Structure 1
Amino acid sequence: MPRRVVLRAWQLLLLVFILGVWHLMSRDPGVAFFFGEPLVIAQRIWDWFVVNADIYRHLQVTLAETVLAFGIGTASGLAAGLWLGLSPLASAILDPYIKAANSMPRVILAPIFGMWFGLGIWSKVALAVTLVFFIVFFNVYQGVREVSPTLLDNARMLGASRRQLLRHVYLPSATSWVFSSLHTSVGLAFVGAVVGEYLGSAAGVGYLILQAEGTFDVNTVFAGIVVLTAFALVLDGLVGLVEKRLMRWQPKAGETERL
């Protein structure tokens, strides 16, 4: 526990140092024009949430897009990864198409999704899903393929059915890979939602940032970035809590070394 307190103290000191240097440098008008002023940014965030309280509508839109994309992308990536990981023939047939789709810069799909789904929430969700899906898919696929053949043979010798193998062997093997991908997917879900708002929207934090960029209001741009980063960290923390609850069976690094 003392080590954790010391670690947090050093992290806080580093943050204070960075903000202090930023504040001193921003006293130069030329630096402030390009990098903003920390105190003005903090005041802008305070006005958004407390004084004017006008960010909640935009934040609700962006969070809804992010959560929907995260959930849909994770579920579809998990299902596709399990299916192709357990079906060598289907995997071999679809392999070049999956690689081609993964190699495509998904951002260029945003105008197409705008034509298909309109400028509402679902075009942003569709774009973000394409970013989340492949991260989860490849991790689940690799997790299934990495299952020990010896473990599978022993389970089959004990009479395990295909459904029991899936539940007790394949899924636990893929779970650690899934959660390692989810921490990355949270940020990508936000990226997809905000990029979609950039290309066409009437609400959302990305929309606020875009409007600020049009007037060279760098403080509002940084305020939007800070808000998005804070909520991305909150979602990542929630994923971490779920991971701890579901991965209790997995020994920690220190416990493994003692064993």
Structure 2
Amino acid sequence: MNAADVLRTERRRAVRHRRTRRVLVLLSRIGLVGLLILAWDAASGTLVRPFFVSTPEAVGRQLALWLGSSDFWFHAHFTLTSAALGFVAGAVVAIALAWPLALHRAAYRIIEPYFLMAYSVPAVALGPVFILWFGIGLLPKILLAAYFVFFVVFINAAEGIRQVPRGLLEVSKVMGASNWQLLRLIMLPSALPYILAALRVTLPAAMIGAVVGEFIASNRGIGYLTRAAAGRYQTAGVIAGTIVLAAIVLLLSVALRPLSRALRWQPDVKLRGGAAT
């Protein structure tokens, strides 16, 4: 057996090992969920009153009722729309502001304390203000989702752009590079790992922002359904709404796996900030 055959054999073995490990991890996760459901079912009615934790059967019936109802999908569409629009708006505005401010470092130092002050305000506290200003429709939910996204993307995009050596920018200008070329060929590639890492973190945060707005005041959305169930003391509906929201965030995390793979070739970056709460 020559070296090429040995290499192919080792590659196949490595692929089989990775697949086996993934299957084991998946089965372990499913088994853990099964154990939690069994423990929940055993505790309900014995250790804890069903009024407080409901039962897996009741929650399952509520989920089946919702998933088979067009009304539920209308509410889910409202939540996903506000989260998606808020995510895009927050990210675009953050990147658009980060570029000029990061280039003019004196201006950035002047503006930075005010951004930090605004970022320190809990997004939940702004919810009633947005509701008061813009009503209970789609707009305040979009703004809350954008707020959750904006600061993390802005801080990290500005940090990535500021990592570009000033000498490199000056030499490029002397050689005739335009501002657009500087942005496209030098600054954006430098900031890309920071921006991608921030987007990966803030996509689920945009969902949180939209749901927070629905919890505060809304007549549509999954958050509204959950709050309405709580108002009627329907524990199964509250838990079912929580499970639906957790499942959506999980699906978003799975959808971000290609973005995580895209980051593998990038140098490690230290993400600044976190989701506003």
TM class, shorter-length: 0.7 to 0.9
Identity of aligned residues (%): 35
| Alignment size in residue pairs | 250
Are residues 124 and 49 of structure 1, via their aligned partners in 2, closer, same or farther at CA, if it must alter by over 3 Å?
same
RMSD after superposition = 2.5
- 1:60 to 2:77 alignment: yes
Please say which of residues 116-125 and 11-20 is displaced more in the overlay: 11-20
Residue 19 in 1 paired to residue 37 in 2?
yes
Q: Could you tell me which amino acid in structure 2 is paired with residue 143 of structure 1?
A: G
Alpha-carbon contact 1:110-1:196 (below 8 Å) kept: yes
Is 1:4 the equivalent of 2:18? no
Matches within 5 A, 1:149-188: 160-188=177-205
Contact persistence 2:204–2:252 (CA under 8 A): no
Query: Could you tell me how far 1:147 is from its partner in structure 2?
Result: 3.4
Query: CA distance change for structure 1 residues 35 and 22 in 2, over 3 Å: closer, same or farther?
Result: same
TM-score, normalised to structure 2's length?
A: 0.80
Counterpart of 2:14 in structure 1 is none
1:121-200 alignment runs, 5 A limit = 121-147=138-164, 160-200=177-217
Q: How far, CA to CA, are the matches of 1:12 and 1:63 in structure 2?
A: 26
Question: Which residue type is aligned with residue 87 of structure 1?
Answer: H
CA 1:209/1:10 → structure 2, altered by over 3 Å: closer, same or farther? same
Query: 1:62/1:149 Cα in 2 relative to 1: closer, same or farther (>3 Å)?
Result: same
Q: Which runs of no fewer than 5 residues in structure 1 stay unpaired?
A: 253-259
Q: Which residue of 2 aligns with 1:100?
A: 117
Counterpart AA for 1:12 = I
Per-residue CA distance 1:125-145 (angstroms, 9 max, x = gap): 112211111111111122222
Distance 1:237 1:148 in 2: 35
Select 2:95's aligned residue among 54, 60, 78. 78
Match of 1:233 in 2: 250
Pair member with larger Rg: 2
Gaps of 5+ in 2: 1-18, 269-277
Residue-by-residue CA offset, 1:145-188 (whole Å, 9 max, x unaligned): 23356866786787654433322232122222122222321222
Residue pair 1:47, 1:53 contacting (<8 A) in 2 also: no
* Match in the other structure for 1:220: 237
Shift of 1:18: 1.8
Q: CA 1:162–1:30 in 2, change beyond 3 Å: closer, same or farther?
A: same
